[in-house]
Amino acid sequence: MKLRMATTYKNQLLILLFSLSINAFAQYASHSKPNIFIYIADDQNSWDYEIFGNSQVKTQNFDRLVKEGLLFSNAYTTQAVCAPSRSQLFTGLYPMKNGCFANHLPVRNVKDINDFMSELGYEVVLAGKGHIKPNSVFNWTRYFPTNSDRGIPINKVEDYIANAQKPLCIIFSSDLPHGPFPKSNDYNDKPLDYDPTSKRVSSNIGAYKAGYYQNIEDDNAQLGRVLHMLETVSDLDESVFVYISDHGLKGKWSVRETGLKIPMVFRWPKVIAPNTTNDKLVSIVDILPTIVEVSGGKKIESLDGKSLMPMIQNSNTSFRDYIFGIATRQNIQKCYVFPSRSVRDHRYKYVVNYNAKEVVQDNLGSNEHINYFIERGANKFNEVPYEELYDLEADPYEHVNLAKEESFLSIKQKLSNVLNDWMISQNDILVQYKMPIIKPTLHPLDRPSKWNNPKKEYQFTLFSNDYIPSHY
């Protein structure tokens, strides 16, 4: 009798769960053209939110989104720099494939969010920070630049929504908490010692910290104004709202977890259960195919990204086995030739620094001018090893390098093979060239500037044929 009752109860439970799943899917299907809103914070570390444990910052509006939506707790960008990260979001392609694999490089002539969403009947609007190019690729229905006070022009977006004739895809692109950081702020006199990534706790973790926290607070207030505006002039609860940071501040320009890991929240009240978390590995390139599917579009085979809808409908769905990372320091401030690549699975992370001091001699050629800049990059990061391996379960912030530990050699080799295969599939320049140097746009390697100070005898010595061929 007990067995029969237990079986009956189990069957009833399964029926209930199935009916709930069907109901959620039906609701999803009935909203085939919801408005899509994406909010991008700029340079905010994934742990610098009150709900994630940092009580020194006030982020009540982001915390609200987490409580009302689905948090992807293992979300990543492939490159921890502004333009490359945003280019991934808007193209659904990794940096090498879309062309923006260093800051300020233009995206190739590929389909982007404007093309995909306009084909589905949407108006596609960017409001706030642009920082992507060229305009010939990113053909927005409307673009509202950042205000003079660095704020998103919310009032202009509000007027636009009120008169819109089609469903909307609007990207709110914040210029905060990215620097410059205000010297006068509410955090100057407070001990700022929160940094879970550091072995050392300090009361002064960099002079920028107080200003950075002020910018976080200001950005969170701006997020609140955006949400209030959408509740006023649009049906927010019928819409999909996505929140991300483009990358972390602390690990910017690197392949460190502190730079690549990002917050990602989906809010869709009629479909997504509130206050839920998914710990599967996901990427910023997955957002575009997701909103395309949400809007009634078909699967796009040409993208690197995959729709998150299967996981939104079932949290146990298998998704990504690996997350990849790239770092290119050329064209950014001091212009050092020091490319890195990484891959992580659900536990381990493998990193290769291709111009490490221990291998730099293998990267040199016959051109002494090129050799100078290659050696300069290796010397700048002379303590960084060629290979790194981390157990992220035991060591989430990559303090203990296991690459030379014999017991981990098989894990390292497996991840090395995965990374190499991915680089080949992406047509990575490191596969094609011994130690490529890319053509800079803003900060040439051989030009002196406030960021760059090459030796005088090597200034103005590089010519166009010294750089790898590029698409622009």
Residue 82 bears catalytic tag = yes
Phi, psi values for residue 240, rounded to 5°: -95, 125
d(CA 245, CA 59): 13
Closest C-alpha to 411, from 346, 341, 326, 317: 346
Task: Output the CA–CA distances (angstroms, integers) from residue 467 to 271, 330, 444, 445, 470, in the order listed.
Answer: 50, 12, 11, 10, 8
Residue 214 DSSP class: H
Which of 82, 100, 169, 335 is an active site residue? 82
* Residue 358 · residue 399 · CB < 8 Å: no
Q: Which residues make Cβ contacts (< 8 Å) with residue 272, sequence separation at least 6?
A: 69, 70, 266, 312
Peptide bond into 134 cis (omega under 30): yes
d(CA 41, CA 168): 20
Provide the sign of the torsion angle of the four alpha carbons 428, 433, 434, 440, taken in this order: negative
d(CA 253, CA 333): 10
> Which run of H or of E encompasses 353?
strand 348-353
Indicate the burial class of 148 (C-beta count within 10 angstroms; 0-12, 13-18, 19 or more): exposed
Q: Name the residues annotated as catalytic.
A: 82
